[in-house]
Amino acid sequence: MQKHNFSAGPAVLPASVLREAARAAANYQGMGLSLLELSHRGPEFTAIIEEANALMSELLNLPDGYRVVWLTGGASTQFYQVPMNLLNEDETAAYVNSGVWADKAIKEAKVFGNVQVLASSKEQNFTHIPKGYKIPKDVKYLHLTSNNTIYGTQLHKFPKSPVPIVCDMSSDFLSRPVDVSNFGLIYAGAQKNLGPAGTTAVIVREDMLGTVRRHLPSMLDYRTFIKENSLYNTPPVFPIYVSMLTLRWIKKNGGLKGMQRRNKTKAALLYNEIDNNPLFRGTVETADRSLMNICFVMEEKYAALEDDFMKICKANGLVGLKGHRSVGGFRASTYNALPKKSVQALVDLMQDFAKRKA
């Protein structure tokens, strides 16, 4: 049975990428050795990481002065690595609290300096993106979270900021074009749109670095990895390789504009069904609906049918649809690599279920 993978992460990868990665894991380029066995200092992996950097630069149209860094630890490590590298104890950074991950980033930043929370939707259970706040000119940076996987909200337009924007783009990175020149630093765990879990991409403007007075451990200093082309220590070789293959796939399929078209089409298809199906309803404000993580629940009078619908989904090969415990219901993650036919399969099931139960 064909599977339709709606998991929030680790998430679906392009089928062609998985096939190529499987071949490399067994026998890389006919060498008789697995890529997993090759030295990260050898010419084979040097070529991989250089291609990954070049593709990232091309797809994002990186301006001069920006560098690509491959790290480990996911966004959760970046929650503290960012303020550790950018914020002195007597300085203030501005944060917008739009979800659980933003909340965690705020907690970590307070260890290294002052934090001013400009706006929050926490009291409304993060059902919308905070708006209408004023950005101070005297803060070191503004931290935003572009997409919220748990609640299904997304920042569709970035604010004009008098200070550098630092953005956690983990769950919508490479899903749409962005003007990188508006950002001082972007970070993203790979396991949504870029590749498998195990590596983290950081895009940083070099002049953001070297301004803190504290001693930085070598492994937590972005400059260490810039200087060593992300090869200061043994990097996550295989996740970077699969990410490079995914970057090739993105380029082949229309780049970031192509991804945006695909994602808008898929999201519109599912949101239209949610809005018109008598059994279901969305959970967040319409203007802030995510194109990546589509959250919905049963209408209250049909709530007892939730388990039945989940069983039908599973029986038909639709996996990863259970909503986060903070929201309940269902969550369909429609990342770049999820084909439209998977969304159509979900819509068909929703329509059939409504015909029989409504």
Which element (helix H / strand E) includes 55?
A: helix 43-60
357 has catalytic annotation: no
HEC letters along 237-269: HHHHHHHHHHHHHHHHCCHHHHHHHHHHHHHHH
Q: Which of 70, 101, 172, 249 is catalytic?
A: 101
Task: Decide if 156 contacts 175 (C-beta within 8 A).
Answer: no
d(CA 241, CA 98) in angstroms, rounded, equals: 32
| Locus of tokens 């989904």 | 313
Token pair of 241 as six digits? 């390789």
Closest CA to 153 of 133, 171, 135, 167: 171
HSE of 77 in the Cβ direction (CA atoms, 13 Å)? Answer: 16
Task: Decide if 163 contacts 172 (C-beta within 8 A).
Answer: no
Q: Which of 140, 168, 221, 249 is catalytic?
A: 168
70 has catalytic annotation: no
Question: What's the Cα-to-Cα distance from 326 to each of 103, 124, 284, rounded to whole Å?
Answer: 14, 12, 13
- Residue 242 makes CB contacts below 8 A (sequence gap 6+) with 13, 17, 21, 195, 196
249 has catalytic annotation: no
Q: What does the DSSP 8-state code read for residue 113? A: S
Q: Which of 70, 140, 172, 192 is catalytic?
A: 192
Transcribe 183-234 into DSSP letters.
Answer: EEEEEEESTTTTSSTT-EEEEEEGGGSS---S---GGG-HHHHHHTTT-SS-
Number of neighbours of residue 89 by Cβ within 10 angstroms: 11
Token pair of 184 as six digits? 């001082």
Residues labelled as active-site residues? 101, 168, 192
